[in-house]
Amino acid sequence: MSDDANQQCILGSRLICSIIIIFFTFEEVTQLIKETERSKYFRNWWNIFDIQMILVYLIYLLISFLYEKSNVTIAFQCLIVVLTFIKVIFFLRIFENLSFLVQMLTSVFLDLGWFMLLFSVFITAFAFLINIVFNAH
């Protein structure tokens, strides 16, 4: 693919994603306006998740225009893909056949999160140990 076609593809995908984010932003602002108690809106985990998703994408757009090809933009792209995956899984709950599977995945990921935290502590401890042993003079 030529460089010009690649730039058009990138701009097209940014435009489509921006339209989707504008829609999500409009929906969140509408929900916030309809909510009589603002604190109740912010107690819902999915509302906070949606706001974070919008903010991450807006930050990504800003960074991608400032630093065209950098590791930071790649990291933000990965984060956006993960957040979008979680949002799609949330939307799949509306289908009766998938509702149970989504609930099962949610509970598995919560348990997996605690395991990953514990696993990270062990890996960090061993990394410090190896660093001390092999860097000792």
Whether residue 6 is found in the same domain as residue 67? yes
Whether residue 67 is found in the same domain as residue 128? no
Model confidence at 2, in pLDDT bands (50, 70, 90)?
Answer: low
Q: What is the pLDDT of residue 123?
A: 93
**What is the overall mean pLDDT for the chain?**
83
Query: How many domains, in total, are found in the chain?
Result: 2
Q: Are 66 and 83 in contact (CB under 8 A)?
A: no
Whether residue 105 is found in the same domain as residue 88? no
What is the arithmetic mean of pLDDT over 26-44?
84
Q: What is the pLDDT of residue 120?
A: 93
Q: What is the pLDDT of residue 31?
A: 87
Q: Is residue 1 predicted with pLDDT exceeding 60?
A: no
Domain of 12, in residue numbers: 1-94
Whether residue 51 is found in the same domain as residue 1? yes
Helices 45-66 & 71-91 angle (0-180, nearest 10): 150
Whether residue 135 is found in the same domain as residue 68? no
* Ramachandran bin of 67, using left for φ above 0, alpha for ψ from -120 to 50, beta for the remaining angles: beta
Whether residue 30 is found in the same domain as residue 82? yes
CA–CA distance, 109 with 57 (Å, rounded to integer): 23
Whether residue 25 is found in the same domain as residue 78? yes
Whether residue 40 is found in the same domain as residue 64? yes
**What is the per-residue DSSP string for 10-70?**
HHHHHHHHHHHHHHHHHHHHHHHHH-S-HHHHHHSHHHHHHHHHHHHHHHHHHHHHHSSS-
Whether residue 88 is found in the same domain as residue 102? no
Other beta carbons within 10 angstroms of residue 13's beta carbon come to 10
pLDDT tens for each residue of 80-122: 888 888 888 878 878 888 888 888 887 888 888 888 899 999 9
Whether residue 88 is found in the same domain as residue 100? no
Better pLDDT: 55 or 11: 55
Q: What is the pLDDT of residue 37?
A: 80
Query: Residue 125: how many CA atoms within 13 Å on its side-chain side?
Result: 6
Whether residue 81 is found in the same domain as residue 127? no
Whether residue 52 is found in the same domain as residue 115? no
